[in-house]
Chain A
Amino acid sequence: MTRLILHIKRLLPLIIFLSGPLYLSAGESNETFRHINLGGGFTYHSIRDEGISSLLYSGRHNTVRAGINNHASSHLSQTEISFSKAYLHPSTYPELTESSVKTIIGKVNYTYMREAANIFNGHLELFAGGSLNNSYVYHRHMLFHNSAVRNSLYSTVNLTGMGAYDFTWNEKDLTLFYRMSVPVVSFNIRPSYAMSKPIGYLTNPGNGTKAFLESVEVATVDSFRGLTNSICLEYRLSSIHGLRLEYKWNYYEYNSGNTVKSGTNALLLNAFVNF
C-alpha cells in the first residue's frame, strides 16, 4: 500500500503536466472575455549546471509563444506554451565557439487566479491564485562525448499574484500588468550525479515506467527556489485585437547532487485576438 501511494505521488508530475489544458476547457462556460495570443521574442539565458560544467554559460534564445486566455468577471485562467532554442557559450571564453551548449526549452504553463481586490475606482485589479509550470530543458555540450546530452523536466506548483492597471495615455487605452510567481513544490527529473541519464533509467534500463517513477525528485523551497517576474503593457488596436509587450524574468536554483542556477530575461511581443 505504501508502495502504491509512493507511486501515485511520483505520478503527480505527469498528472499535473496534462491537467492544465483539460482545466481550461472546463472553465470556458463562465468567461466574459476570451482570446488567443501568438508571439515571440528574445530571451537572454544564463545558467550554471554543475552536472554539465563548473562554468557559467550564457546566450540569447529565440523564443516563440502561444496561449489561450479566459478572463471572466471574477477570475482568469491562462494556458501558455513556449519554445526556445539557443547556443550558450561559457562566459569566461565566449570566443571558443566549439565549447557551446545547445539548449532547447519547452514550457507549458497553466495559471488560474481569482480577483482579490478592485481599487482606484476600478482602475487597478489585483488577482491571486496559482500556476502549474512544466519545463522541459535539453542541453547538449557540443565539445564533449559521453554524458553530453542531458534532459531535465521540472514541474512546479506556484503561488501567483497579478495586478492589472488600466490607464489612458495620448488618448490610447492601455493596461499595465505586473505578475509574480513563486514555486512552492516541484517534481523534477534530472540527470543523475555523474551520468546524463536520470538515476531511475540507470537502475531500471528495461522498464520505462519504473525508470520514470524512480527518477522523480520531490522538492520544496529547501532545495528548489525560484521567482518569475513579468511586466506587460497591453495596447488594444480594436475591440478584438491587441498587442502585448512583455518583459519577463525567471530565476530558479535547484540543489540536488549537482546545483543548477538558471536565470532568463525575455523580451516578448504578442498579438492577441478575441474570440
Chain B
Amino acid sequence: MITRVLIIIITLSLTACEKAFIEKDPANEPVENFQILWETIDKKYSFFEYKNINWDSIYSEYRPRVHNQMTERQLFSVLSEMLHHLRDGHVNLDAGFDISRSWEWYKDYPANFNYSILRSSYLKNTYEEKGPFVTQVIDSIGYIYFGSFTKRVEPEIIDNIIEDFSDLKGIVFDVRSNGGGFSTNVEILASRFADKERLVAYNLFKKGPGHDEFTDPQPVHLSPKGSEQFLKPVVVLTNRRSYSATNDFALKMSALPHVTVVGDTTGGGGGTPIYKELPNGWTYRFSATITLAPDKFNVEHGIPPDIQVDMRQRDISRGLDTILETALELIQQ
C-alpha cells in the first residue's frame, strides 16, 4: 500500500520542474544580442513619434550587418551606430571596454561657460562651499553655482543658503554645464523658490509596447517647502550642457513668476532613462517617459531661455562672464 502511495506522490512531484515552463536565456551570440536590444527599445523607448524615427527601417538597415562570427568590438560598433539614430543623450550602451554616447545635444553649440573666469573674477578667494554648492555675494546679490545633480542635496543646506541670502536683492542660480543626476534634487531645490502650489510640468508614461501607447499627460505640481522660500527676483543661468535633471530644474523654475532664465537653451533630456542588459552582460539605458512644459511644449530638445545671451569674446578676453553680468544687471534693475 505504502509503495502505491509513494509512487503517486513521486509522480506528482515530478511536475515540480519550472524549467519546463521558463525558457532558457537567449544565446549569447551577436544576433540574439542585437535582437533583444532592438526589440526592447522598440517596445519601451518614448520618443519615436516625437523624433519621427522609423525604427523598423533602422532594423532593416542594421540587422544584415550583424552575424555570429563578428567580434565584440565590431558588434559594439554596429549597435552604437544604431542607437545613435535616437539622438538622445540618455541612450548609452556600456560594454565594459567602451560606452556609446550621443553628444549632439551640446557638441556644436557655444560653451557659454568658463569656470576660470567665474573663479578669478567673481568667486575670487571669498566664496563659500556649502555641500555641493559654491556661493558668493556679488553687489548685494546672492550667487549659487551648482555643478552636478549627481551630488545629493540635503534640504538643510539649501534652507541655510536661502536664510543667508534672505536680505539680498535677488539670487543668481547658475546651473550651466550641469549634466544632470538625481531628479529628486530638483524638487528639493525648486520648492525653496515656490510661492504657492503651481503646475510646473506634465509627465507621460509608457503603458504598452506601441510607439504611441502612453498615459494621458499627468500634471506635476510644485509646492513651497523648507523653512523659508526666496520670493525676490531669481535668475537661473543655463547653457547647452544643462542636461537631464538640470533641464527639469530649469523647467520647474521657469514656471515661477519671479524667476527668469538667462543664457542659452538647455541641452534637453526630458525622458527618464531606464536600464536593461543583454545576454552578453552589456548594459544599456534609454528614455522611457516624456516630459512636457505646462503649455505642452516637449522639453526633450531643451528649454529656450527667457533671455538668450551668449558669452561675448570681447568680455571673455576682459575676464567677464556675459551671461552672469546680464543676470546681475537684471536683478539690479
Contacts and interface: CB of A to CB of B under 8 A. Distances in A.
Interface in B230-283: 272-277, 279-281, 283
A178 B247 CA distance: 60
Given A123-B1, A143-B283, A249-B16, A56 B22 contact: yes
Contact of A229 (B6, B13, B274): B13
B9 A178 contact: yes
Interface stretch (A65-73, A86-94, A103-111): A86-94
B131 interface: no
A62 interface: no
B279 A261 contact: no
Interface string A43-55: 0001110000111
Interface in B39-69: 40, 44, 46
Contacts of B213: 193
Q: How large is the interface on A (under 10, 10 to 19, 20 to 34, 35 or more residues)?
A: 35 or more
Contacts of A92: 25, 28, 279, 281
A178 B127 CA distance: 74
A147 interface: yes
A202 B218 CA distance: 8
Interface size class of B (residues with CB under 8 A): 35 or more
B25 A192 contact: no
Contact of A147 (B40, B218, B275, B283): B275
Contacts of A275: none
B277 A53 contact: yes
Contact of A194 (B17, B206, B283): B206
B201 to A, nearest CB: 12
Given A53-B276, A194-B44, A194-B289, A91 B25 contact: yes
A195 B272 contact: yes
A133 to B, nearest CB: 17
A172 B74 CA distance: 67
A11 interface: no
A257 B218 CA distance: 20
B275 A148 contact: yes
A199 B215 contact: yes
A97 B215 CA distance: 36
A206 B23 CA distance: 40
A146 B25 contact: no
Interface of A: 46-48, 53-56, 90-93, 96, 99, 120, 123-124, 141, 143-148, 163, 165, 167, 176, 178, 180, 192-195, 199, 202-203, 205-206, 227, 229, 231, 247, 249, 251, 253, 257, 261-265
Closest 9 CB pairs of A and B: A263-B18, A249-B16, A144-B275, A194-B206, A194-B288, A147-B274, A261-B22, A92-B25, A194-B44
